[in-house]
Structure 1
Amino acid sequence: MKIDAHQHFWKYDPVNYAWIDDSMSTIQKDFLPMHLAPVLKNNDFDASVLVQVNQTEEENDYFLDFAAKNDFIKAVIGWIDFKAADLDTRLASYANKPKLKGFRHIVQGEADDFLLDETFTQGLAKLATLDFTYDILIFERQLKAALKFVRKLPNNKLIIDHIAKPEIKHQSVNKWSNYMNAISEHENVYVKVSGMVTEADTKNWKKEDFTIYLDHVLSSFGTKRIVYGSDWPVCLVAATYEEQLDIVQTYFSKLSKTEQADIFGLNAQRFYNI
């Protein structure tokens, strides 16, 4: 099964999606299952993982309804308040939602040391016993805190979104790669090759811009802990679905068919228990 392990939906309005500013006018409109389904089919993907956008539990229900009505959505990554006093009760309420596979918080919008908050970390640690995953969404500057965070959670299934958003536009590599290498030593941590084009020069990127980053991800995480995701429709700010896919398909074409199958589907199946 080929899986696009990172995509979003929204019914656009400028208040709830204020982060989609005029520089991203391409995506200031609705993106729904009926829009993604033909794109996946045309690119030979069988399934997708739907990832949270807004930090509300109402969105969890909204996305789970999409998943119930569209079989290609095999997993939903929602949001929950890990600091909530009733966290145990809230998590238990999702135990009977088979397509709700894990959670994410938009840490990239928080202070650089947000992941070191003990209440947040202790709440998140509870995911391990329930077999829920956690997507780590950070900028490169938050990798130092992310490393400390990962060290505290050896029993959790963790995955780093968008290769931790290195500053590709400015060719920032060394600091990013050092932290990513250290994080990769923790075998419970996977990484998503996704969201790269929007960290590059969105108007003037070229495929070669991403090679050094993919080299580091492959050498540190190996082929069993890399997961492909498109970050559709956010990727459309900088590239078509086909263009962003071509970057990673071309790069990984040097690998065996078995290794490519892992990256483009089987690793996501294993990580998200699909």
Structure 2
Amino acid sequence: MTNAIIDAHQHFWDPDAAVGSDARGHDWLSGRFQPIRRRFSPEELRPALEADGVSATILVQTLNSLDETREFLRIAEATDFVAGVVGWVDLTDPAVRDTLARLRDGPGGRWLVGVRHLLQDEADPAWILRPDVRSGLQAVAEAGLVYDLLGDTRHLPAMVRIAAEMPHLRFVLDHIAKPDIAGQVMEPWRGLVTQLAAQREHVWCKLSGLITEADWTQWKPADLLPYVEHALSEFGVARCMFGTDWPVCLVAGSYRDVVAALGVALADLDAVERARIMGGSAVEAYRLPHHHPGR
């Protein structure tokens, strides 16, 4: 599996089937994102994976919802290419350890490899530093899971601090913290990423979600290069991984466009280095279970 191409960041959703709080969680699928307000399923993703030689994916939460996490674990159990799930639990809940245990003991629980919270939806950019959240992160660490960091430049100072204070927890930075690629803005994002990458032994970085931060209609691979190059220089090849952020990426380009753009950015690397980014780093960071045994 270490030589496989693994898309370390993709989603499924069906906003029209969601009810209650799950339905409200899909409110962002409006305005410019209205074109992707529809069902996205494993059957739709499979042809794109096959066309680009991607053999496995990590399915990542989109809602702060245990129901969605349980659904994603069931999907992983039934879908040969889903190699792991990054789900959601309420980190502020004193019973979060029990919740994690129930998820892992439930249907598809063996595919739970990480946890994520929608930090970008919190009013406080330092939310992750709250004592009750820290307690939840400790439970994630004790469970041997990864915590995915989702946010932008505003959230990086708190990310830097929590990573420094919790060296026993593996962190993965999603979408290189969403720099303003459309505006070609580098600072303070660049300096803060350098600080986060100093925690190199237990923090990884996803080279994902980039075309969505660029100009949707006019972006070109060269626009992404300064950001990818900085992430690679600071985290190193061994701590960077490929992800598409499908289907969010579809507002700006196809699955193949994302793969091709990253290929341009990695063109100067040798085959071993590219293999690390395209699969090996995800296996190491998430400690991925092997492909579904017996299938």
Interval of TM-score (by shorter of Structure 1 and Structure 2): over 0.9
Question: What's the secondary structure of 1:198's corresponding residue?
Answer: helix
Question: What's the secondary structure of 2:116's corresponding residue?
Answer: strand
Residue 123 (structure 1) aligned with residue 117 (structure 2) = no
The 8 Å contact of residues 221 and 264 in structure 2, kept in 1 or not, is answered as no
- Gaps spanning 5+ residues in structure 1: where? none
- CA drift of 1:122 comes to 2.0
CA distance in 2, matches of 1:62, 1:88: 20
Match of 2:272 in 1: 258
Match of 1:17 in 2: 26
Residue 179 (structure 1) aligned with residue 182 (structure 2) = no
The 8 Å contact of residues 95 and 130 in structure 1, kept in 2 or not, is answered as no
CA distance in 2, matches of 1:106, 1:113: 13
Residue 101 (structure 1) aligned with residue 110 (structure 2) = no
- CA drift of 1:200 comes to 1.1
- CA drift of 1:267 comes to 0.7
- CA drift of 1:232 comes to 0.1
Match of 1:67 in 2: 76
Residue range with higher mean Cα deviation, 7-16 or 166-175: 7-16
Q: State the aligned residue count.
A: 274
Match of 1:268 in 2: 282
CA distance in 2, matches of 1:172, 1:161: 18
Counterpart of 1:35, as a letter, is: E
Q: Among residues 87, 91, 94, which one is paired with 2:100 in the alignment? A: 91
Match of 1:163 in 2: 176
Counterpart of 1:155, as a letter, is: H
CA distance in 2, matches of 1:140, 1:57: 27
- CA drift of 1:25 comes to 2.3
Match of 2:52 in 1: 43
Moved runs in structure 1, 4+ residues, more than 6 A? Answer: none
Question: What's the secondary structure of 1:101's corresponding residue?
Answer: strand
Counterpart of 2:9, as a letter, is: H
CA distance in 1, matches of 2:35, 2:73: 26
CA distance in 1, matches of 2:29, 2:175: 18
CA distance in 2, matches of 1:196, 1:180: 15
Match of 2:5 in 1: 2
Counterpart of 2:66, as a letter, is: E
Q: What value does the CA root-mean-square deviation take over the aligned residues? A: 1.2
Match of 2:204 in 1: 190
CA distance in 2, matches of 1:243, 1:26: 18
Match of 1:54 in 2: 63
Identity across the alignment (%): 34
TM-score of the aligned structures, taking structure 2 as reference length: 0.90
CA distance in 2, matches of 1:18, 1:125: 31
Q: Among residues 239, 252, 259, which one is paired with 1:238 in the alignment? A: 252
Counterpart of 2:15, as a letter, is: Y
CA distance in 1, matches of 2:193, 2:29: 28
1:37-60, Cα deviation, whole Å (9 max, x unpaired): 111011100000000011111111
The 8 Å contact of residues 229 and 265 in structure 2, kept in 1 or not, is answered as no
CA distance in 1, matches of 2:158, 2:216: 28
Q: Among residues 174, 191, 208, which one is paired with 2:222 in the alignment? A: 208
CA distance in 2, matches of 1:87, 1:112: 22
In structure 2, relative to structure 1, the CA distance for the partners of 1:170 and 1:35 (3 Å cut) is: same
Counterpart of 2:114, as a letter, is: G
